Amino acid sequence: MGVIIINNIYISISIIFSAIILLKLNNIVFKKLLSKKHKIHIKFLHSAITVVIYTGTILGIFSQFEATQKFITSIAASSSIIVAVIIFVAQASLNDIISGIMLSWSKPFDIGERVQIIGLDITGIVENITVRHTVIRTFNNTQIIIPNSVLNKQIIENSDNRSISGNFLDVTISYESNLDKAIKIMEEQVKSNELVLITEDTPVDVSIRNLGENGVELRIQIWTKGVGENFQACSNLRKSILEEFKKNQIEVTYKHVKII
């Protein structure tokens, strides 16, 4: 009897080590696959395989000991009422899993894309998807974890399902400032920014948007690979353009209030 128990312990340890190896291989394989397209399929499949490995490990260990074998057998042979209760408790999890499969299959968004969940008033970047939930990181760096069954029922606006993202950068200078010099500085700063995409379809071209009451309104369009990079590029450019304007005595206008 004691020999059998020792053998079962050794088998259980082997099962645990095998599970650890499988989990590491699973992570390595899917980490390489994440460099390809359709990341939402890869993330979901990775999560599903992880759950299968954990479930198989637990069942494998339980099957090695008489007490746990009886426990599993008693559950399987229990009355229909207990089975119904178990199904009812697991219903929410099953809905999440099925909804996760549907989201992965229909692909309304992908990992790294900007989405807006209309009904939940949530906007952010899709960071991860598992068998139970989807993780969205908002622009104030907060993680929102949404059950797949909830997300699958929502209206999803995907504004980042394109390869590049564009945004306008507006600057107003005084009428006394050197207009040509200001335009040249803006174009040079945009061209030197490593996040900005410059192609035949995305030229660097400053336009005079308006001759306003506060000064000459200049506009340039900034193109990047994604929304997050676009936000960062515009932020960096505002700083560098302002610094160059100060060096060259180009005045950025703003309203003055004189109190008497």
Cβ atoms 171, 186 nearer than 8 A: yes
- Tokens for 205, please give them: 């071209």
- Tokens for 24, please give them: 């590491």
- Report the distance separating Cα 122 and Cα 138, nearest Å: 8
- Tokens for 164, please give them: 């590049």
Q: What are the sequence ranges of the domains in the chain? A: 2-77, 165-247
Q: What is the pLDDT of residue 129?
A: 87
Q: What is the pLDDT of residue 101?
A: 84
Q: What is the pLDDT of residue 176?
A: 94
Write the secondary structure of the chain as one string of H (helix), E (strand) and C (coil): CHHHHHHHHHHHHHHHHHHHHHHHHHHHHHHHHCCCCCHHHHHHHHHHHHHHHHHHHHHHHHCCCHHHHHHHHHHHCCCHHHHHHHHHHHHHHHHHHHHHHHHHHHCCCCCCCEEEECCCCEEEEEEEECCCEEEEEECCCCEEEEEHHHHCCCCEEECCCCCCEEEEEEEEECCCCCHHHHHHHHHHHHHHCCCCCCCCCCCCCCEEEEECCCCEEEEEEEEECCHHHHHHHHHHHHHHHHHHHHHCCCCECCCCCCCC
Q: Is the pTM for the entire model greater than 0.85?
A: no
Tens of pLDDT along the chain (260 residues)?
556 667 777 788 888 888 888 888 878 877 777 655 557 767 778 788 888 888 888 878 877 777 666 666 665 565 555 556 666 656 767 788 888 888 888 888 888 788 888 888 888 888 888 888 899 988 777 889 999 889 888 888 886 555 567 788 999 999 999 999 999 999 999 999 998 888 777 788 899 999 988 899 999 999 887 777 888 899 999 999 999 999 999 999 877 666 77
- CATH no. of 165-247: 3.30.70.100
Q: What is the pLDDT of residue 48?
A: 81
Taking the alpha carbons at both ends of the chain, their separation in whole angstroms is 99
- Report the distance separating Cα 194 and Cα 181, nearest Å: 22
Cβ atoms 62, 92 nearer than 8 A: no
Pairing of strands 122-129, 133-138: antiparallel
- Report the distance separating Cα 34 and Cα 31, nearest Å: 5
- How far is Cα of residue 22 from the mean position of the Cα atoms in its chain? 26
